Amino acid sequence: MTVTVAVTGATGRMGEEVLAAAADRDDVAVAFAVSRSPGAEVEGVAVEDAADLSDLLAEHDPDVLVDFTGPASCVEYAAACADAGVAFVSGTTGLNQGGFDALREAAGEVPVLYASNFSRGIAALRRAVREAVPALDGYDIELTETHHNAKRDAPSGTALTLLDDIDEVRGDSPRVHGREGEAPRSEGEVGVHARRAGDIAGEHEVLLAGNHESLSLTHRAGSRGVFAAGALDAATWLSGRDAGWYDFTEVLE
Amino acid letter, 30: V
The span from the CA of 82 to the CA of 248, in Å, is 20
CB 90 within 8 A of CB 64: no
Active-site annotation holder among 60, 147, 177, 219: 147
The span from the CA of 114 to the CA of 190, in Å, is 25
CB count in 10 Å sphere of residue 211: 8
The span from the CA of 174 to the CA of 10, in Å, is 38
Specify whether 148 is catalytic. no
Active-site annotation holder among 60, 148, 151, 212: 151
Write down how long the chain is. Answer: 253
Amino acid letter, 161: T
The span from the CA of 79 to the CA of 83, in Å, is 6
| 43, HSE (Cβ side, Cα atoms, 13 Å) | 20
User: SS3 string of 13-30?
Assistant: HHHHHHHHHHHCCCCEEE
Specify whether 147 is catalytic. yes
Look at residue 109 and give its three-state secondary structure: coil
Strand partners, 221: 202
Active site residues: 147, 151
